[in-house]
Amino acid sequence: MNFELTEEQSLIKSMVREFAEAEVAPTAKERDEEEKFDRQLMFDKLGELGLTGIVFPEEYGGAGADYISYSIAVEELSRVDASTGVTLSAHLSLAANPIYLFGSEEQKQTFLVPMASGEKMGAFGLTEPSAGSDAGGTKTTAVKKGDKWILNGTKIFITNGGEAEVYVVLARTDKEAEKHHGISAFIVEKGTPGFSFGKKEQKLGIRSSPTMELIFENCEIPAENLLGEEGHGFKIAMKTLDGGRIGIASQAIGIAQGALDAALEYAKERKQFDTPIARFQGVQFQLADMATQIEAARLLVYNAAYKASNGLSYSQASAMAKLMASETAMKVTTQAVQILGGYGYTRDFPVERMMRDAKITEIYEGTSEIQRLVIGTNLTR
């Protein structure tokens, strides 16, 4: 067992950190306040850096790197801006990856290659108004007519919605089948007649990441846009989320690390009682707990990422990583605000944004309760 980053992983870390600090960080506050998605900065440039397809083989336009490298990239982006981190995670883990794992060769050439290069952005449509945690409750339908599938229904809360060109969408193809049975996965392109966008959410955090409603009204897509086998959509979604949870766990560690770094810098500078507050044991103990929790969470994420890259089962590992990392992000960012005192509560410092951003990591890609359910089910099976 080797806990050192490889040369390639170290290079990716320093490259993404440099980019994140020089280009992403300076506009993070403004984009948050204006709820503004900057496609060029938050996606196109990630493509230029080779991040939009980092884990896919070179033959599909990827960089052929491992999941730890991917985790590092999402962490480093999220350390300065969680919205940019989730843009990459949703695109790569939730849209490009199921096409890589379950797509035909033709689908890979048509969709995965331009997605890996960063020419096209992806999004994943699973959640519906009455099917959130209960993903098997999907009501959107897809009916086969000749060489077309006709989609009807609404997806809500879709990250990258409106901006993405390629959507992996789950829909019920067998109305008689119950619960998770009879669901299939489809690839739907932006611009397809009958596919439109509804409400854009106004959110507590990750405010420069667009979250949109997808509306399908007699939306006709070609038969060949069925992804994987008909009726296997739920398992495709679950396997997709196993990988996605590594991305969100990495986002959570990045947010937490950003908050710890800000709190440390502040605590060394800020004097009260003629002493830098970092000298007070009460503050040091908080910093020590924050650093320890982040390191523990990061190791769980690397464990899941290692398994994902080496053909091992990683459903349980990624649920544990996501649970631990997201709850760590919430605790650490709250403590960071505390260490900055009144200043931490203002928008003059980034920790209040980080605290707002951290909360979503306990909700999306399965709430903390759902991660416990996945882990508990695996343990007691």
The residues of the shown chain that bind ligand FAD, judged by CB under 6 A, are 90, 123-127, 132-133, 157-159, 203, 206, 211, 360, 363-367, 369-370, 373
238 binds, among ligand FAD, ligand CAA, none (CB under 5 to 8 A by kind): ligand CAA
Q: Measured between alpha carbons, how far is 79 from 210 in angstroms, rounded to an integer?
A: 19
Q: Is 305 an interacting residue with respect to ligand CAA (CB under 6 A)?
A: no
DSSP state of 277: G
Judged by DSSP in three states, 132 sits in: coil
Among 315, 326, 333, 335, binds ligand CAA (CB under 6 A): 315
Handedness of CA 10, 14, 20, 25 (dihedral sign): positive
Q: Measured between alpha carbons, how far is 356 from 338 in angstroms, rounded to an integer?
A: 14
Using the minimum distance from each CB to ligand FAD, give the nearer residue, 12 or 206: 206
Binding mask of the shown chain, residues 340 to 369, with x at each position contacting ligand CAA by CB under 6 A: ------------------------xxx---
Q: What is the phi-psi region of residue 145: left when phi exceeds 0, alpha when psi lies from -120 to 50, beta otherwise?
A: beta
- Give the Å distances, CA to CA, from 184 to 119, 144, 148, 212: 26, 12, 14, 22
- Min dist CB 292 to ligand CAA, Å, is 27
203 binds, among ligand FAD, ligand CAA, none (CB under 5 to 8 A by kind): ligand FAD
Q: Is 5 an interacting residue with respect to ligand CAA (CB under 6 A)?
A: no
Spatial contact of 111 and 119, defined as CB atoms under 8 Å apart: no
Q: Which range of residues in 57-65, 72-80, 237-245, 303-311 is near ligand CAA by CB under 6 A? A: 237-245
Query: Of all residues in this chain, which one has the CB nearest to ligand FAD in the complex?
Result: 132
227 binds, among ligand CAA, ligand FAD, none (CB under 5 to 8 A by kind): none
Q: Measured between alpha carbons, how far is 100 from 108 in angstroms, rounded to an integer?
A: 6
Binding residues with ligand CAA: total (CB under 6 A): 27
Active site residue 365: yes
Quick one: which of 109, 96, 114, 117 has its CA closest to 50?
Answer: 117
Among 87, 127, 140, 184, binds ligand CAA (CB under 6 A): 127
- Min dist CB 177 to ligand CAA, Å, is 11
Quick one: which of 209, 189, 47 has its CA closest to 125?
Answer: 189
Spatial contact of 83 and 42, defined as CB atoms under 8 Å apart: yes
Give the angle 10-56-306 at the CA atoms, nearest 5°.
55
Among 242, 327, 352, 357, binds ligand CAA (CB under 6 A): 242
Give catalytic residues, as residue numbers: 365
Give the residues lining the site for ligand CAA (CB under 6 A). 86, 90, 94, 124, 126-127, 133-136, 159, 179-180, 234-235, 238-239, 241-242, 248, 315, 364-366, 370, 373-374
